[in-house]
Amino acid sequence: MADTVALELVSPEKLLMSEEVELAILPGSEGDLGVQPGHSPVIATVRPGTIAVFKGNTVEKRIFVAGGFLEITPERCTVLAETAIAVEDIDQTAAKQEIADLQDDVKVAKDDAARAKAEAALAVAEAKLEAAVSPAYA
């Protein structure tokens, strides 16, 4: 069995990452998924959270994803992310302001659809700030 698994991270705009990794931990909608070579096949949704890429026992990269889908095979893991940003590139001040603005949007929503849309955006913004403040697998 191989010592690595191919990890591809794709956004609507471009291929963000394509490399061989020893371990990646992904934020699945049902909980975190640890992906190593030989993983059982899985297709799942991705919740807002952090992808942690390991080299040995050390986290080499942390990437915040806002959601999307993933496919895992024994040799490969492909993440189709709505948006993705390196955790170290998250502007905490901007994220806090975005949260405040979205909290206001939730309060003034005129109907259930507008409120649901604002609440979903608020959950993503809160997850982004959490990723920046408390990096996963530190």
Give me 69's structure tokens. 């889908």
Q: What is the pLDDT of residue 118?
A: 95
Kindly report, residue by residue over 10-62, the tens digit of the pLDDT. 998 889 999 999 999 999 999 999 999 999 999 999 999 999 999 888 899 99
**Percent of the chain clearing pLDDT 90 (strictly above):** 88
**Percent of the chain clearing pLDDT 70 (strictly above):** 96
Give me 124's structure tokens. 């993503």
**Cβ within 8 Å of residue 108, ≥6 positions away:** none
* DSSP element (H, E) containing 33: strand 31-35
Q: What is the pLDDT of residue 73?
A: 95
The domain over range 5-87 is classified in CATH as 2.60.15.10: yes
Q: How far apart are CA 70 and CA 80, in angstroms?
A: 6
**pTM (predicted TM-score):** 0.89
Q: Are 42 and 74 in contact (CB under 8 A)?
A: no
Q: How far apart are CA 104 and CA 118, in angstroms?
A: 9
**Cβ within 8 Å of residue 128, ≥6 positions away:** 48, 64, 66, 85, 90, 95, 98
